Structure 1
């Protein structure tokens, strides 16, 4: 008898025993795309309670790499380049293009509040626990955070992680139990029912905000072909928010380019569409009581491409960057980090109001200020050329108050990929 118990105990500890308890393990799962090439997923375990993701962060920076800090006089000093990592507790797992989401539970060997320094060449193995993915879903996205809220830090986002997670087999139907035979009993005279006061009707509870959809199509701006892209959307204002909600995301269909994101009615959202090999696009959308459509045509990253940098703001007649410009420039810095051989030219333009020479000088100072900001994000100055054209290259007649702001712009030209 004792030998049988020992054998049964060993079977429970074996891999077969773990599978019998509903656990599945996928070693080195296939990943369609990843946001940060320094982090990898080594293993995904599915238990009765959790989705457990084992990851490794390995810095590719060498110990001799230096980071230049510019100074106003044109000089600067260098500091050793270091990495810092953390795991945002608002992270989510998504399946089937956002059909279901699974919350983050806890992490091991990586902080969730403060960031941890990582020395050049150091390897950090860490684990993240999420709610158990519903059986039957065998591909998920890990959305840790939005890069635009991380001050240049890259989020640990993975797209299309393939795992073993078969659907549960339906239980065999049981025959209905035969009801027990009732023994005959003498009739019982019912007692009179006491009078009970009629309860007051309950007051209706406030209903949750009505939902609408934010949808549209993502295409290549040149070929007009559909693109599989990531659409991040964040609630800025609405019935149940104070403006600090974390961003959510969905993926557009690779065949049709269509996407569909759930939202609140009568609310304001910040929406960004991004895809590998393309410049991202952002917009602020206000929802009413019906669905909102926003299509995105993304410009490919290739030599000769010219785009106007949106959401770049300066004070009137000055070249100081406003803080509202930082998210757009952070995204540009991220694109240049993902394409380390890419070089660009920043072109500054103004309207016709004021002195011509003063406007040329202003446009030159503004693009140089943009260049300085990109340098603080780790972009080598040799990769960025600047030129100020002042009012000499308008894109409209400059006659009306509506047209003039369109001429006050910063344009980007890719000179090499």
Structure 2
């Protein structure tokens, strides 16, 4: 009897834990876009009803002396996991706190010798169903008592986490009997059958089938001088690049903005994402991608004049994470810059590269320099004289915002162009 009671007690104590740990989705070795410390990897991500469980492995390679190492430790590592760690989704739209970590301390005090491997687990709050990519941000690299600490940060971790399907509660309801309508006596009751006046035609005319008229959608706005804010007559070129009825090869079309107001309107017949470019003589062109759905889209284009000292951000220039290889999506923007420099043969420019503040300062400066050099190589390959292009990499030293949130960080990763001479 006592043994039976003891078994029941143990089962009751463990049942909540077992229920909480029931795995809903598992992602083995998830794809990770970028990692801050290459000595740590994510082995598996499990999603339960309560937690996001991340299984990680640290390998003491001994190759990062002076980073996560002490100066007198002879090549050993001291590892830990910060209690302030968070998971972020959709560029910081939502965050999920660390609940606990197992087999790794909350402070930098566990020693790992070269060649040693440490498996540890981090329990976070459950990521909302539907978010399939997250960033793990442990901390920002820092120096502690002369030792440089590299944080376990991962960017773009892809997992299986589908949205929850709404439960069909209608079938579970017990329908209530509807009360019968009260019987009203009629002074002159009509016969059930009324003869028709014309064979085959009903006396009562049928109601016309009135459908809902589609809502007219357009992209509209103003084209102005970025410095004087005065209206400018410009050409707006647009093309459907993605959507339910788009294959990405739709032909381009254009409209003109009119003076005196600088107004333009692009009528939208097929919903989707459009690439729109505003261009005017004497100005640098400006591009944007705009999604059209059920309502009109307003986008004003403030065009920068081609004059000494003018600066613009080349927004449509893209690189792979932590690399300086140009993505093919960058070519249209750079080709437009080539056209401007060909139309203005005395124009000289300076390309300035910038990064966010995450990671090593010197490495970010080098990355920004390599990126603008790569842009210069592309322009030269299109026939622009190399002497007309200067390059400089500032790294993270000139942020345009506080750089504290994941939503702000991409704004600091940019290439800017300054007009040196016209």
TM-score by length of 1: 0.49
Q: Decide which structure has the larger Cα Rg and report it.
A: 2
